[in-house]
Structure 1
Amino acid sequence: MKTKPFKSLAILLAGSLALAVSACSNGAETDKGTAVETGQPAGETSESGTPAADTGAEETAASGEARVLKDSMDHEVTVPAEPKAVIASYLEDHLVALGVKPVAQWMIGEDKMQSYLQESLSGVPGIPSELPLEVTASYSPDLILMDSAELVAGDKYKQYSAIAPTYVVGNAQNNDWRQELLTVGEVLGKKDEAQKVLDDYEAKAADAKAKLEEAAGGAKKAAALWATEKDVYVVNMNLSSGDVIYNDLGMTVPDIVKQASEASEANWSSLSLELLADLDADYLFLVNGSGKDKAQVLADPVWRNIPAVKADRVYEFDRDSSWLYTGAIANGQMIDDVLASVTGSK
């Protein structure tokens, strides 16, 4: 998923979900749509310990009027008082959390969208992840939110701005999802709602962490793996689902995961068979996109000596689940999955 990893990478569709691994970054990075960036704090911190949204507002008009805000690239953007037709490709987790329905949603291929959000986004048409100008204009948006500076490289910002006010949310290689949420909330005039979503998430994570401490005891090493038809990928310890299981839930990082995370800034990195065989994990959270069932995947001798496999602590999730994404909704679902797997309850 960067330069900003998801949008800059080619996504390989194999069956229903695609790989976004390293199409543009020496074979290591994955598309943000399949492996999202998190875990790198951005911006200031509020008194509650959560990132404070900083849109750089130079001028805020009275309630009910347009506001002039500075985005992450120092563009001055006149934001409508109440945007009615928003396009915020790959920021839909934040929109749904804030009760906002976009006019089009992020899509890879011809029809692949973020499945875990479809209960809320049913009926919203897809728009290609590269946001073609003519297609974007066809939806007559009154506000465009870009999650990546890369999407507006060159003269693209000027072209999008000719369609509608265009606000670039982040420009880091891996934007912190918490900061993104707060920034999107600020831009949409839902600052308090965004803070509540974040506070509720932090409380949920803290409660789950305490339950896991009690249930897991000394067996706390965990890893999230993504099995595809040909390869196995391991999540970065500070990004995507790695941010959830290690930073939010306090599970222990195996040495192999540390090594992979230090070697690459990608959300997911390819794991050699030798390293996979040496993975010292008590729990495995397996995103299975291999086309085989779990038993068939684990039948390969390379898995045999992994503690989680020996102890029957391998928990399988569909590639359409939230495990390849990030945001308050995606991460909350992951927390539910981990609790249900390890403790038998949510």
Structure 2
Amino acid sequence: MKKSTRFFSLLTITFTGLLLAGCQNKSTTKTATTRTLTDSMQHKVKVPTHPKRVIGSYLEDYLVSLDIQPVRQWSVKNGTSRQDYLAKYLKDVPLINYDLPYESIAKAKPDLVLVGTSSTVQGGKYAQYNKLAPTYVVKNGDTVSWRTQLMDVAKAVNKTAKAKQVLKKYDQQRAKARKTVQQKAPNQSAAVLWVTNNSAFIVNDHAASGALLYQELGLKEPALVQSISKKATADWSPISLEKLTELDADYIFLVNSDKSAAMFNEPIWQNLKAVKNQKLFSYGPKTSWMYKGPIAYTEMTKSVLKDIQ
């Protein structure tokens, strides 16, 4: 065999070998079944690259917005309370109690469990959950925004690009809504109340619908809301009927879980500024006013735009 022929034969073999090796490397990358991530509690978690059976109790708004249907949905007392505003997305999805019983998780056979609060996995619970399925604790706490949570959930389920699209669309809609609100209700104040069992609660300014009104849409925050929010230890703080006399809000958005509440007949209630001016707007407990996330905030924004004239 001539030297030139041998040279080209060897070159061909070498090139073919490199090509095959490259294909194998690409194939290995494409078919990787797990990724190792560090969650908010510094756990090293080996999560599925493309999870198919996800439990994300109280994180369903994020999951649905990322086109993932969880295999269980958050509830309290066997469904007495659930995120009804997500019903059309979670049709036929079984319930799981908010405290995430081990046996309920085992029965669901998830390939990934997302936990929304660090307290849920305290006392050795994390190790127990992690035995059932890879368990990832999402960023949480009073200083963590819903946007941050969405992106962290997206990282865990390998949907970061989709999450960025969701946020871009939401922020475009929010900017338009904020402009409309400022035009229709300049320098107007608002508050969100929840009435249940003839007791009133007021949302703090950095949680749920409070964050939406003041931070997202730019409505003015009443002094009473500011005062209560500074001391708030939960999203909703109890407020007495007498204390409500200090609520000088132009608009009140009411989450009404007790339509026959005696307090509605009290002179104090009837003399509230928003009530007297017919700027009290009532919503049932099955709406999104108690929650947060891109879907909840989009629905609430539409309600605000409809109510504010």
Please indicate the TM-score interval, normalised by the length of the shorter structure.
0.7 to 0.9
Match of 2:182 among 202, 213, 219: 213
Matches within 5 A, 1:79-228: 79-111=47-79, 112-173=81-142, 175-218=144-187, 220-228=188-196
CA distance in 2, matches of 1:174, 1:292: 36
Residue 247 of structure 1 aligns with which residue?
215
SS of 2:88's partner is: helix
- Is 1:322 aligned with 2:288? yes
Instruction: Identify which range, 274-283 or 301-310, moves more after superposition.
Output: 301-310
Q: CA deviation at 1:197?
A: 0.8
Checking the alignment, whether the CA contact within 8 Å between 1:64 and 1:82 is kept in structure 2 is: no
Higher relative contact order (CA 8 A, sep 6+): 1
When Rg is computed on C-alpha atoms for both structures, the one with the higher figure is 2
| Structure 1 length-normalised TM | 0.78
CA distance in 1, matches of 2:192, 2:288: 12
1:88-117 residue CA offsets vs partner (Å, 9 max, x unmatched): 111000001011011111111112321000
Instruction: Identify which range, 229-238 or 243-252, moves more after superposition.
Output: 229-238
Checking the alignment, whether the CA contact within 8 Å between 1:235 and 1:269 is kept in structure 2 is: yes
CA distance in 2, matches of 1:302, 1:147: 39
Q: CA deviation at 1:206?
A: 1.2
Match of 1:290 among 244, 252, 258: 258
Residue 267 of structure 2 aligns with which residue?
301
Q: Which has the higher helix share?
A: 2
1:291-326 residue CA offsets vs partner (Å, 9 max, x unmatched): 328xx7543211233221121000000011100011
CA distance in 1, matches of 2:287, 2:277: 24
CA distance in 1, matches of 2:122, 2:96: 19
Give the total of aligned pairs.
280
Checking the alignment, whether the CA contact within 8 Å between 2:115 and 2:138 is kept in structure 1 is: yes
Checking the alignment, whether the CA contact within 8 Å between 1:229 and 1:291 is kept in structure 2 is: no
Residue 230 of structure 2 aligns with which residue?
262
| Structure 2 length-normalised TM | 0.87
Which consecutive residues of structure 2, in runs of 5 or more, have no partner in the other structure?
A: 1-27
1:263-318 residue CA offsets vs partner (Å, 9 max, x unmatched): 2132111112222012100000000011328xx75432112332211210000000
Residue 297 of structure 2 aligns with which residue?
331
**Percent identity among equivalent residues?**
40
Residue 3 of structure 2 aligns with which residue?
none
Which consecutive residues of structure 1, in runs of 5 or more, have no partner in the other structure?
A: 1-60
CA distance in 2, matches of 1:89, 1:304: 39
AA paired with 2:141?
A: A
SS of 2:282's partner is: strand
CA distance in 2, matches of 1:150, 1:127: 18
